[in-house]
Amino acid sequence: MFLLIYILDSQYLAKALPSLETVACINTSKLEIQQLFIQVQNYIHARSLPCFIGHIRAHTVLPGPLSLGNHLADVSTKFIALSKIDLARQSHQLHHQSSRTLRYQFQIPREAARQIVKQCSTCPQFSSVPHYGINPRGLLPNQLWQMDVTHVMEFGKQRYVHDVVDTFSGFILASAQTGEATKHVIAHCIYCFSILRVPQKIKTDNGSGYASKAFKLFCQQMHIVHITGIPYNPQGQGIVERAHGTLKVQLLKIIKGELYSSSPRNYLNHAIYILNFLQIDKHGHSAAERFWHPQGSPYTLVKWRDPLTGQWYGPDPILICARGYVCVFSQEHDGAQWLPERSVHHVDHPDKSTSNIMGQ
């Protein structure tokens, strides 16, 4: 005759399980524990062999097969038994995500995510500063980039970090260069093109590296529209300026985390990976998902003809439409254009509501 022997390191379970065979009703404060006890009770009733439940003290260094078996059981269930909060805490120790990202990535309560960030030895000293002002954004990926350079003194000779931000998705690319001259700007652009393709338009400040004839010729050869903001007005580059601060904070978190020692390039790539793939918005999408899998635009795209010159532009989104006239946002002119309805042609299939409004 065979006998099943179960050795547990939990005194609570060792005393609770024997009584499950005859107990009529199981009441616990947590529904999850109640369901587990009911499941164990069903297993006990369905057994075909007698069983014995014993207890052993956990974490002892005494020799013998029981201690060894208990240690192997602990090791094999270490990662399986981790809760979502534990997984979020482990991920934050490595990548230092924000509380909102932890909340959506691991499906944990808001307060639990905030406590993980507060208990981190690195993150509480970095507080985000609210940003003001409005910057034009692209309506599609690779439609408008903002580019600038910042200094990270910890990188030594490679302290000139060139940044590019896709204004539609927020996708960030950065490279550590030894300077900020035109040749370094072009090298950074080629690096970005190899990952995100060539954009339609790039917006920069009036720095010498961007205002040179060599960079202007480079943009013409790559068929890129290069625009600059108002001189000495940093708010015109608000998106990439905020990306500077976000990137620097992420770099400091990684470096001060002391999980590994690496080169400036690896630190930078790790920070870019976190910002593009691990930071999640309120819809549960990362910057990489917004760039490579953009959601359908709620605006109908049309091509339109300038009544004065007869030249066609677009496709551009409709802002306002009514019977007889249409307001189109011209991305080339960076402004709204009021047009007669006959000068507008759809480039995709409009929805019924828009078609009814326009009388089509």
Span 84-125: which CATH code? 1.10.10.200
Residue 81 has pLDDT above 50, yes or no: no
Residue 282 has pLDDT above 60, yes or no: yes
At residue 26, the pLDDT reads: 80
At residue 80, the pLDDT reads: 46
Residue 42 in tokens: 């069903």
Task: Express each pLDDT in 83-116 by its tens digit.
Answer: 788 888 888 888 888 888 888 888 888 888 888 9
Name residue, tokens 């006990």: 44
Question: Of the ranges 107-111, 126-130, 181-185, which one carries the lowest mean pLDDT score?
Answer: 126-130
User: CA torsion 238→244→250→251, rounded to 10°?
Assistant: 180
* CA geometry: angle 196, 199, 201, nearest 5 deg: 150
Domain spanning 145-292, CATH architecture? 2-Layer Sandwich (3.30)
Residue 359 has pLDDT above 60, yes or no: no
Residue 59 has pLDDT above 70, yes or no: no
Going from the C-alpha of 73 to that of each of 80, 84, 328, the distances in angstroms are: 11, 21, 66
* CA geometry: angle 148, 152, 155, nearest 5 deg: 125
Percentage with pLDDT > 90 across the chain: 29
Q: What's the topology of domain 301-358?
A: SH3 type barrels. (2.30.30)
- The residues spanned by each domain of the chain are 4-76, 84-125, 145-292, 301-358
Segment 170-191 shows an average pLDDT of 96
**Residue-wise DSSP of 306-357:** -TTT--EEEEEEEEEEETTEEEEEETTTTEEEEEEGGGEEESS---HHHHHH
Q: How far apart are CA 235 and CA 101, in angstroms?
A: 27
